[in-house]
Amino acid sequence: MKIATRQFLLCGLFFVFCGVSNGFSATLSVVVRDAEDTQDYSAWPMGSGKALDTAYIMSAEECMLVKNDGDVAEDFSIAATGTNWTLGSATGEDTCILMGLFNGDSAPIGTDFSTTNDLINGTPVWATDASGAGKFQGANDGDNVAALTGEKLYIYLKTPSSLTQGAEEAITITIGCREHGS
Ligand SMILES: [Ca+2]
Ligand SMILES: [Ca+2]
């Protein structure tokens, strides 16, 4: 299985590109664009003074458009790593909760996210379509996305309950793609 990835920092500056083709007919590529599809997504700068143990969710303007830049239908995967924080399923000391939801033009609210289906951590998880209960599935699903179309991804970050390190935190999210049905 060939996988292409795009990486970006949630709270930082870098943006890393790579892409693949499978050497036969299909080209697999994914790009991460801003909500209006006017430029590549660079970061979600959350700023300073954020509260502990508090959820922050991207707005409709802050979300990213994950776009199939290849020439076959694709599924997307999501993984992430933090510089100091652990990505967990509950908040704790230096441990945050990171989740993602493909949700169309409307920003989701906290209760739209589920730690059963929407958690993001160091292991890439493929988005799925399962009657609303797929991985990262909201109003959209990131599964079987047609070539040259995109779906909007909203990130949820609940900050750690306490900190021993990480006055500045940068979380890098990696978006992968594969040919749908592969
Ligand atoms: Ca869901
Ligand atoms: Ca779909």
11 Cα–ligand 2 center, Å: 28
Distant-in-sequence, close-in-space partners of 143: CB < 8 Å, separation ≥ 6:
75, 76, 126, 127, 128, 129, 134, 137, 180
What is the span of the domain harbouring residue 46? 4-179
Q: What tens digit of pLDDT does each residue of 78-124 get?
A: 999 998 899 999 999 999 999 999 999 999 999 999 999 999 999 99
31 Cα–ligand 2 center, Å: 17
Q: What ligand is nearest to the CA atom of residue 134? A: 1
The Cα–Cα gap between 21 and 28 comes to 5
| Helix residue spans in 35-113 (DSSP H) | none
Q: 45: closest CA among 37, 30, 31, 34? A: 34
Q: How many CB atoms lie within 10 A of CB 89?
A: 12
The Cα–Cα gap between 138 and 28 comes to 24
Give the global pTM.
0.89
Count how many domains the chain has. Answer: 1
Q: Which residues surround ligand 2, an ion (CB under 5 A)?
A: 141, 143-144
Q: What ligand is nearest to the CA atom of residue 131? A: 1
Answer yes or no: are the C-beta atoms of 160 and 92 closer than 8 Å: yes
Q: Would you place residue 24 in the very low, low, confident or very high pLDDT band (cuts 50, 70, 90)?
A: low
Q: What tens digit of pLDDT does each residue of 36-77 get?
A: 999 998 888 888 778 889 999 999 999 999 999 999 999 999
**φ, ψ of residue 31 in degrees (nearest 5):** -125, 150
